[in-house]
Amino acid sequence: MTFPQLLQQRVTTALAALGHTLPEGFTAAVDQAADARFGDYQTNAAMVLAKALKTNPRALATELAAAIDVTGLSTPPTVAGPGFINFAITPEALAARLEVLLADEKLGIVPTTRPRTIVIDFSAPNVAKQMHVGHIRSTIIGDCLARIARFVGHTVITDNHIGDWGTQFGMVLYGWKRDLNEAALLSDPIRELLRLYKAVNAGSKAQEEEMKAGDRPDTPVRDACRAELVKLQAGDPENRAIWQRCVDVSLAGLAIVYNKLDITFDHYLGESFYNDRLPSLVAELEASGLARESDGALCIFTDDSPDAVPFIIRKRDGGYGYATTDLATVEHRLRVWQATDVWYIVGAPQALHFNQLFDATRRWGLEGNLQHIAFGSILGPDGTMMKTRSGESVGLMEVLEEAEERALAVVQEKNPDLTEDEKAEIARAVGIGAVKYLELSQHRLTDYKFSWDKMLAFQGNTAPYLQYSYVRTRSIFRKLEGSTPELVGPYQLTEDAERWLALTLSRFAEVVPAVLEDFRPNLLATYLFTVAQAFHSFFEACPVLRAEGQVRATRLALCEATSRTLKTGLGLMGIRTTERM
């Protein structure tokens, strides 16, 4: 149990002993103290109860503090302000917890007592298009949440719901048949497919301008593209074969990006997987009365108000869109995979779509905890949307490659004696880690500026700083000249810096589960930064290798626990550590 859980037990026991009648659902919450000068943890239980009991909160707090048995856990609790009760964990309790952390590969995290089966939908690029900087947030946040959910004991299914079926394929098919460069397709398939798409799209727009001027072409490009799409949807063998090759080469290209990011998926069930289910699904919804016709389309409405936005499950032309596919997808996840939860890591602008989807799913009779985990935008240095000079979205692979190149330059400057392979490995860990950490250290709902200088800095709240902190912990053990230290307790925490580091390390099991409460990876990032700061303060104030006896053993234990916490925590963010930098 964590210190807050232990203290909560003690507070609850004291309240029972005092004989107060507690309100239904009351919990004596214990949280990290807002001001470390007054203690390590605090509870406002007396203030909450005082209102219900119609008594003075400070008087109740004084009575409660005197009744709490904190033997072996905290110094005598103190009362502050209007009725806060503060606790300071004893050095002995922290030393005992340090032993527990070193004996547990999960650093004090107990598997959840209520395991869920969670499907996490993230990344979701379009086939035949390049992944760009706009995919960073969904991809990296989704992977981090998947790692943490698995770590605390949930069953996680990651599904990359790729866009492999839709209007863009009409253009790709049209361009493929008229202008495909086979050599370019083999050397860089995504770039060639994107070129075809852009060329056809530009030609279509040019013809539309001609049509406005009264010079209508005999066969407009857009009509021809639509005809190719209809043939594909009807199962035309030639178009189906071209489509399948587009999907195959696109997935191969995506694999390169995901491999660089160290991200894997359990499934790649794209829109096409559900195509055969759509007609019967729509018929079922119409027959049940959930969907009704509106202006020629079949729609689901969240309410009967005149301004209600329709959730269109069949278009006027008989086609299907995202709404229909997403209903088929959530049905598969809840019925076939037996998911208890489905998390969609998708940008904030799609909030309306997911509100409608979740409402329709519930009214359809499907049960599950559906969550839209929204996020803001990545901005350029000027505070506008991050684009290339030509106005296009910056390619994700370009960002990752530049991150590695910049990191390599730093590694070569700081440690030129390393082998080229070592430099490349470190540059990858630092560069890719910097991109991920810049993302995960932000509150997911805020927009943030993409800054190379900030993300690759070795000072401040950055991945390189945390990775360097890990390296520093390992360097201590390398200096032992091959001997393996015996990290045997009981440990003795005599210095303030030792105590603060031990307390900070003990909070790992408090922070990691809290990330999932509101889907906030930045809580973990902030915590790891605090760990690194506490370690550096300890390292400067408390000599390790020059110490002797149990003082030395204690300090080595603190270094080892810091090392494991940083490595494990960064690993949950998908960030590698290296032994040297």
Give the whole-angstrom CA distance, residue 98 versus residue 508: 12
Give the whole-angstrom CA distance, residue 544 versus residue 557: 10
Number of C-beta neighbours around residue 5 at 10 A: 12
% of the chain beyond a pLDDT of 90: 72
Peptide bond into 91 cis (omega under 30): no
Q: Is 292 helix (H, G, I), strand (E, B) or coil?
A: strand
- pLDDT in the model for residue 188: 86
% of the chain beyond a pLDDT of 70: 96
pLDDT digits (tens, 9 = 90+) for 381-409: 877 776 655 556 778 999 999 999 999 99
Residue 323: which pLDDT band, with cuts at 50, 70 and 90?
very high
Sign, CA dihedral 569-446-325-224, equals: negative
Distance of CA 510 to the CA centre of its chain: 18
- For residue 546, what are its two tokens? 């020059």
Give the whole-angstrom CA distance, residue 30 versus residue 376: 32
Do 433 and 406 form a contact (C-beta atoms < 8 A)? no
Please state the rounded mean pLDDT for residues 347-362.
96
- pLDDT in the model for residue 306: 76
- pLDDT in the model for residue 297: 93
Q: For tokens 């998390």, name the residue.
A: 343
- pLDDT in the model for residue 69: 96
- For residue 353, what are its two tokens? 């779509």
User: Of the ranges 384-393, 461-470, 518-527, 531-540, which one carries the lowest mean pLDDT score?
Assistant: 384-393
pLDDT exceeds 70 at position 482: no
Contacts of 232 (CB under 8 A, 6+ apart): 169, 170, 173, 239, 240, 243
**Paired residues of 314 in beta bridges:** 298
Q: For tokens 């106005």, name the residue.
A: 391
Contacts of 418 (CB under 8 A, 6+ apart): 411, 426, 580
Please state the rounded mean pLDDT for residues 238-262.
93
- Report how far apart, in Å, the C-alpha atoms of 40 and of each of 34, 231, 331 are: 9, 68, 47
Please state the rounded mean pLDDT for residues 366-371.
97
Give the whole-angstrom CA distance, residue 77 versus residue 68: 8
pLDDT exceeds 60 at position 247: yes
pLDDT exceeds 60 at position 217: no
pTM over 0.85: yes
pLDDT digits (tens, 9 = 90+) for 136-190: 999 999 999 999 999 999 999 999 999 998 778 889 999 999 999 999 988 888 8
Please state the rounded mean pLDDT for residues 58-79.
96
User: Of the ranges 247-251, 252-256, 315-319, 325-329, which one carries the lowest mean pLDDT score?
Assistant: 315-319
- pLDDT in the model for residue 319: 83
Average pLDDT over all residues of the chain: 92
pLDDT exceeds 80 at position 211: no
pLDDT exceeds 60 at position 52: yes
Give the whole-angstrom CA distance, residue 106 versus residue 109: 5
Closest CA to 9 of 26, 29, 24, 25: 29
- pLDDT in the model for residue 213: 64
- Report how far apart, in Å, the C-alpha atoms of 86 and of each of 13, 77, 503, 505 are: 17, 5, 15, 20
- For residue 129, what are its two tokens? 């298009």
Long-range contacts: 42-48, Cβ < 8 Å, 24+?
42/80, 42/84, 42/85, 42/86, 42/87, 43/7, 43/8, 43/11, 43/84, 43/85, 43/87, 44/83, 44/84, 44/85, 45/11, 45/15, 45/85, 46/83, 46/85, 47/82, 47/83, 47/84
Please state the rounded mean pLDDT for residues 537-545.
95
- pLDDT in the model for residue 414: 86
pLDDT digits (tens, 9 = 90+) for 102-134: 999 999 999 999 999 999 999 999 988 888 888
pLDDT digits (tens, 9 = 90+) for 302-316: 887 878 899 999 988
Please state the rounded mean pLDDT for residues 83-88.
96
- pLDDT in the model for residue 388: 56
- For residue 191, what are its two tokens? 């770039």
Domains of the chain listed by start with CATH number? 3-89 (3.30.1360.70), 166-262 (no CATH), 396-572 (1.10.730.10)
pLDDT exceeds 90 at position 380: no
Please state the rounded mean pLDDT for residues 411-423.
91
Pairing outcome for strands 297-300 and 292-294: antiparallel
